[in-house]
Amino acid sequence: MPSKVRKVVFPAAGLGTRFLPATKASPKEMLPIVDKPIIQYGVEEALQSGIQNIIIVTGRGKSAIEDHFDVSFELEDMLEKRGKKDLLAIVRGISDMIDVAYIRQKEALGLGHAVLRARELVGDEPFAVVLADDVIEADTPCLKQLLDVYNFFNAPVLAVMEVSPEEISSYGAIAAEPVSHSGATGQVYRIHDLIEKPKASEAPSNLAIIGRYVLTPEIFDSLTSIKPGSGGEIQLTDALRHLLHSRPIYACKFQGTRYDAGDRLGFLKATVEYALRRKDLGGPFREYLKGLKLGE
Ligand code: G1P
């Protein structure tokens, strides 16, 4: 039996330059999609996948994330006195929901470096990684889909999706062969190679890595063995490539819709689609959109 995955690492030390000036003084992870910060979508996905221990790798100027997941006595007291029970439940829900630990990444030296910072807190057990920028709407949470594959193969698993050839150079790309899983093929792949941000002409496929991973603790040794890669940063993809020499790694083409909330257009799409799905807002928002006179 594979060991249970109890912990999830959220790298959240990035500078958020794509969202300046909004991210000059507030973390990009706190930008709201409708009324919930981006990072909370990822945290709720982890909870819905059965993982309660949250490790957030933060950096300078990220204290709003810690405050968000902490108890806010003044706010709760005020809501209680004013009898705002619904809002009180929402605010309490956030801090009650998780057991969260923070570790600092003092310099932004890459995703792999951020994950390595969590080594002591993770210890010698399997763990998940969630990149909060990738917001994923799915009937079965994306991380849960990966955990099912991990439990079957007892090996690391990455989320992947097909992207167009022009887009692949923005991602990590994999070379892989389909394997059958739960009687189906085309959903799960065994990985042969991984390349971070390949040129379109050098991409091994159009299967792009998306920000959900289930990893085993050997990844930490790989992270200390590799040299800086794409962008001069320590890349998680390069560490996985290193690990591939000693153990199989799988990819799961997840079912669901992924929004790149770290990109302005992706963020807008997520905002519109999440608002349309909301019971309290969807109807009037749809009416408003229908009434817009959109020129060519
Ligand atoms: C990171 C990973 C990349 C992955 C991407 C998914 O890149 O390094 O392999 O495809 O997330 O969102 P970033 O977007 O941080 O440059």
Q: Does some domain include residue 65? A: yes
CA distance 91 to 82: 14
Q: Is the CB of 208 under 6 A from ligand 1?
A: yes
Q: What is the CATH number of the domain that holds 110?
A: 3.90.550.10
Atom of ligand 1 nearest to the CA of 134: 12
Q: Which residue in this structure is represented by tokens 């080594």?
A: 119
Residue minimizing CA distance to atom 10 of ligand 1: 171
CA distance 137 to 41: 9
What is the number of structural domains in the chain?
A: 1
The answer to whether the beta carbons of residues 98 and 44 sit under 8 Å apart is: no
DSSP letters along 245-261, please? TTS--EEEE-SSEEEET
Average pLDDT, the chain: 93
pLDDT at 20: 93
Q: Is the CB of 213 under 6 A from ligand 1?
A: no
* pLDDT tens readout for residues 36-87: 999 999 999 999 999 999 999 998 888 899 989 888 888 889 999 999 998 8
Point out which residues pair with 259 in neighbouring strands.
135
Residue 127 backbone dihedrals phi, psi, to 5 degrees: -155, 165
Q: Does some domain include residue 289? A: no
Q: Does some domain include residue 184? A: yes
Residues of the domain holding 91: 7-279
Q: Is the CB of 131 under 6 A from ligand 1?
A: yes
Atom of ligand 1 nearest to the CA of 171: 10
Q: Does some domain include residue 117? A: yes
* pLDDT tens readout for residues 139-185: 999 999 999 999 999 999 999 999 999 999 999 999 999 998 877 76
- Region for 61 from its dihedrals, namely left if φ exceeds 0, alpha if ψ lies in -120 to 50, beta otherwise: left
CA distance 250 to 85: 45
Q: Does some domain include residue 165? A: yes
In the predicted model, is pLDDT for residue 204 greater than 90?
yes
Distance from the CA of 210 to the center of ligand 1, in angstroms? 7
Q: Does some domain include residue 138? A: yes
Q: Is the CB of 169 under 6 A from ligand 1?
A: no
Distance from the CA of 87 to the center of ligand 1, in angstroms? 35
Confidence of residue 107 (pLDDT cuts 50, 70, 90): confident
* pLDDT tens readout for residues 176-198: 999 988 777 679 999 999 999 99
In the predicted model, is pLDDT for residue 282 greater than 80?
yes
Q: Does some domain include residue 137? A: yes
In the predicted model, is pLDDT for residue 94 greater than 80?
no
- Model pTM? 0.95
- Region for 117 from its dihedrals, namely left if φ exceeds 0, alpha if ψ lies in -120 to 50, beta otherwise: alpha
Confidence of residue 93 (pLDDT cuts 50, 70, 90): confident
Task: Give the mean pLDDT of 125-138.
Answer: 97
Which has more pLDDT, 103 or 14?
A: 103
Q: Does some domain include residue 284? A: no
CA distance 105 to 117: 7
Q: What's the Cα-to-Cα distance from 57 to each of 9, 10, 14, 48, 100, rounded to whole Å?
A: 7, 6, 10, 21, 11
